[in-house]
Structure 1
Amino acid sequence: MPLPFLTADSDFDTADDAALPFDDRDRWRRPYRPGPWRVGMAAVWLLLASYVLFAAVIIALTDSLSASAVVFGLALVVIAIALRLLRMGVWVSAHGLRQVRLLHTRTMPWDRVAAVRTVQQPVRWLGLPRTVQGQALVLVRKGRSADDAPYLLTTHNADFLARSGAFDRAADAVEAWAAEYRQG
């Protein structure tokens, strides 16, 4: 007997990712689900945070409270990194396109977007220096050349590694948002 509620790829990958008519289009939303590599890395960081929190409790019971507070602060930083890892990616709304990275967020209003398109080119594998042949969703800004266009998504990043179908659906969703809101 299959248990579809236990699988990560149950009905969500086949469902239409278009927003429902009653959805608020002004809210920022990610047009795809976070990938298993991203969720796994966040889980590892949270596991590390649990060990650091346990160490903070042990230090508080055996040593000084100031040393425990420093270790507790370190645990909070690790938890913040794990949560930021989960928020990383591309977000869209009626206001524009937002790319969230680990240390900064860039928001581009739709009126400054010339095109959003998928290109075949070498891309970084999981953000590491190693490059492999893949696809990238690039953002071309008005008044800029297409050569310096930043990547929004790639087939080999933490959300879409070994999930080319999910990349295609996400790229189509972002391109649809861009086509709808660039024209007004």
Structure 2
Amino acid sequence: MPLHFLTADRTFEAASESALPHQDQDRWRRPYRPGPWRVGVAALGLLLASFVLLAAVLIALSGSVFSSGTASAGTVLVAGLAIIAAALRLLRVGVWVNGRGLRRVGFLVTRTLPWARVISVRTAQQPVRWLGLPRRVQGQALRLVRENRRPEDTPPLLTTHGLDFLGRPMAFDRAADALEAWAAENRRG
């Protein structure tokens, strides 16, 4: 089963004369691949879910002998499905773009911002959070400047020390360039 959200749109990586080599402006796309940290954490979550689901099957099979086995198996099954849903949601987290706007997909909240409300998207050197933890290190961040908001009020779209770009500065530069190109083209149009 292909997981289209796991890979970036290949047209962003192909060399082309256009800054935005895309055909369908209405399709949401992530202009970068998920990083190894994000994929690794999701893979560990899916591995854990397989053990939890195996435990649910074993509890259900032994449930005929014990009276509370079926209810326990159902609880463990729901826990396993919740772990799978969390791992798949973690893979969808990131910045997505299309012709209408920019979408920031978080683990719990998704926000969409139309291009008309975006003033600029630019890279800045600043202290950034390391892997989303409270510890801050010096790095680069892709900042979104919105109308009627100060840039400091808006969290960065991407950072060099996030789950997707830790140890991959070239990938961060490509993703930042692609997002800046999307913003520049759609602000004109």
1:129 aligns with 2:134: yes
Q: Which deviations, in whole Å up to 9, do the C-alpha atoms of 1:43-87 show, x marking residues without a partner?
A: 000001001001101110113212111110111100000000100
Greater shift after overlay, 62-71 or 126-135?
62-71
Over the matched positions of the two proteins, sequence identity in percent amounts to 64
What residue is the counterpart of 1:111 in the other structure? Answer: 116
Deviation at 1:147, TM superposition (A): 2.1
What does residue range 6-155 of structure 1 map to in structure 2 within 5 Å? 15-16=14-15, 19-21=20-22, 23-63=23-63, 64-155=69-160
Q: CA RMSD in A?
A: 1.8
Work out the CA distance in 2 between the residues paired with 1:115 and 1:171.
12
Tell me by how many angstroms 1:25 deviates.
Answer: 1.2
Counterpart AA for 1:121: Q
Aligned residues between the structures = 173
SS of the equivalent of 2:157 reads strand
TM-score (norm 2): 0.87
1:35 is aligned with what amino acid?
A: G
Taking structure 1 as reference, are residues 168 and 151 closer, same or farther at Cα in structure 2, changes over 3 Å only? same
Amino acid at match of 2:38: R
- Please give the residue correspondences for 1:158-177 in structure 2 after superposition, counting only pairs within 5 Å: 158-177=163-182
Q: Is the contact made by 1:140 and 1:150 (CA closer than 8 Å) also made in structure 2?
A: no
Change (3 A) 1:105 1:173: same
User: 2-side partners of 1:50 and 1:182: how far apart?
Assistant: 46
Q: Secondary structure at the match of 1:97?
A: strand
**Which letter maps to 1:130?**
R
